[in-house]
Amino acid sequence: MRFIDPHIHMSARTTDDYERMAAAGVVAVIEPAFWLGQPRTHVGTFIDYLSSLVGWERFRASQFGIRHYCTIGLNSKEANNAALAEEVMDILPLFLGKEGVVAVGEIGYDDQTEAEDKFYRAQLQLALDLGMLVQVHTPHRDKKRGTTRSMDVAIEMGLDPGSVIIDHNNEETVQEVLDRGFWAAFTIYPETKMGSERMVEIARRYGSNRIFIDSSADWGKSDPLAVPKTARLMIERGLPRSDVEAICYRNALAAFGPSGQMKEEDWLSQQPRDERLLYLGNSVLRGQVPRVDELPAIPEFDERRLVK
Amino acid sequence: MTPVEVLGGWLGVKLPESAQAWLANCIERCITGIADRDFYLLMSAVSRHVGKGPLALTDAELAAGSASRPGWDPRDWTLDQAVRVYLLCASTLGGAQCGVRLDRLCSAADIGELVAYYRGLPLYPEQPRYALRAAEGVRSNMRVVFEAVAHRNPYPSEQFAEAAWNQLVLKALFVGSPLAPIVGLDRRRNPTLARMLCDYAHERWAASRPVSPELWRCVGPFAAGPVLEDFARLFERGTADEQLAAALALREATDPGAARLLELHANVTRDGRDSSLAWERLTSTRT
């Protein structure tokens, strides 16, 4: 089975993670622009970070046979440094049009302050102007209200709910998100957000329509194999395979595909695009093409390959 | 015609119609003086408008290209790359502005953009200005970016000081890139590089790792003294490709000892008289 992890901060992960993910069947990842664990103090560090998302990290992923996409935005935590946030807003347009940028994100509320609200709205406007999708981070604290508010503001600004992904859902938020026509993403965190066991129950109850899961693995204790592991549990608990595929692969593609930047053929073709670029660049006089490692075979569902 | 005019001519026939209108509008804005922010916005979205198909130049077009700019070889360029370079050249009034914009573009570039901007080096105004930028490209860990500077690009051989040039050649071997597509490879050979390459070969041998036969192409003219022992080793223990490389390299040596060694292994020089063709074939037969 193939998997997409539509929310994972690979910059903070090791090559071991990339290898294990590829071996477990993860073919594509989306890396939202986020904070780095402590607040940045200069716009230059934002520029370098965003550059690495569209540049080095994308290349690094390709070395492991994984397609890397990203979302670009000003995260809610750092929106609270209003002076710096204004500077960041000025440089976002430099990056939003780049290849592999599938949405404005992750944006939204953290403490639900005035500053967060201001920059959330400004970025929704940017998405409207550029015809882009939006990936919304919902807050840890006062979650239900924060999630409702995120959707209220998006609709008020004129966004189509079908072009907005509401992330980090739980049992308390999912019904409203689905009722209002947004995409509902769930982060599988063993402790704080949503465990695999709970996710199985949600899938049983709500089905697979407009629902998908991600790991949100970052520099904290988190699990980059959360998507394939949860898929295994769903299969073990008897969920239909087509539902599992939808929740762990197809729906993420359906949600982010309309960006025009993420296509299934990107990973179904045998070489990652960047390596093809090398091929293209040297096809005439060079037999000694750059080493392109065979992509790992997509494993049939085999739990022995997964670390429990 | 200037190379930028040549490039513009190609785009006029190779871009799909929808992209033509977009480009014409961009050029209009660029030549009448575009604000930095608008320029960067426009550049960030080039591939969304013109796609990434090959520029696909014919032999005649390639000949016209190198007639307008000696050493320019855009055979591998894609449409988006050509448009980026064209817009950057068209929008700038001189080297200073071009340099500033190039640095800014590179600071926020994705991989494909970096490749474009480095491939464009031979076309920018006031050529010596970009040597540090080019050396930065050589330092990249992304091989496709490194090769945008190193391969089919006359800029390094024209503008790099010896130390930077030698790093480029050595890095190509380190990352497994072929040497044959490096423009000016033979002309820029030097004794220091030959010494670095021999040291590198010894390191590889000590670790029982293979050495690219192409390496010896840059050593040949300086083959003398103890280096001849390396060549003797190639003849005695090397693969067929390594033996051929040794023979091709030694043909350019001036040391009498080199001539004697070559004489001893005259049977190896099975290939024709055109050395550079033989080197390229040597590259292309390697797996």
Q: Measured between beta carbons, which residues in chain B are less than 8 angstroms from residue A93?
A: 37, 40-41, 44
Residue B235 distance to chain A (closest CA, Å): 22
B:172-191 residues touching chain A, CB 8 A cutoff? 176-178, 180-181
Which among A50, A94, A284 has CB closest to B40? Answer: A94
Reported ipTM exceeds the 0.90 cut: no
Q: Which of B49, B111, B147 to mutate to test the interface with A (most CBs of A within 10 A)?
A: B111
Taking CB atoms and an 8 Å limit, are A280 and B284 in contact across chains? Answer: no
**Residue spans of alpha helices (H) in chain A:** 15-24, 43-54, 56-62, 82-96, 114-130, 143-156, 174-179, 196-206, 226-236, 241-245, 251-256, 264-268, 273-281
Average pLDDT estimate for B220-237 = 95
Give how far Cα B117 sits from Cα of A61, B14, B98, B171, Å: 23, 20, 11, 20
Question: What confidence category does residue A295 fall into, taking pLDDT thresholds of 50, 70 and 90?
Answer: low
* C-beta separation of B198 from B219 below 8 A: yes
Question: What confidence category does residue A301 fall into, taking pLDDT thresholds of 50, 70 and 90?
Answer: low
| pTM as predicted | 0.81
Q: Measured between beta carbons, which residues in chain A are less than 8 angstroms from residue B76?
A: 280-283
Which among B75, B108, B180 has CB closest to A95? Answer: B108
User: Rounded to whole angstroms, how far apart are CA atoms B122 and A257?
Assistant: 38
Task: Using the Cα atoms of residue A179, residue A245, residue A15 and residue B287 in order, give the sign of their dihedral.
Answer: negative
B21 CA to centre of own chain: 32
Taking CB atoms and an 8 Å limit, are A286 and B147 in contact across chains? Answer: no
**pLDDT by residue (tens digit) across B81-139?**
999 999 999 887 677 788 999 998 998 888 899 999 999 999 999 999 999 999 999 99
Domain ranges of chain B: 1-176, 189-287
**pLDDT by residue (tens digit) across A226-277?**
999 999 999 999 999 999 999 999 999 999 999 999 999 999 985 544 444 4
Tell me: pLDDT of A77 over 50.
yes
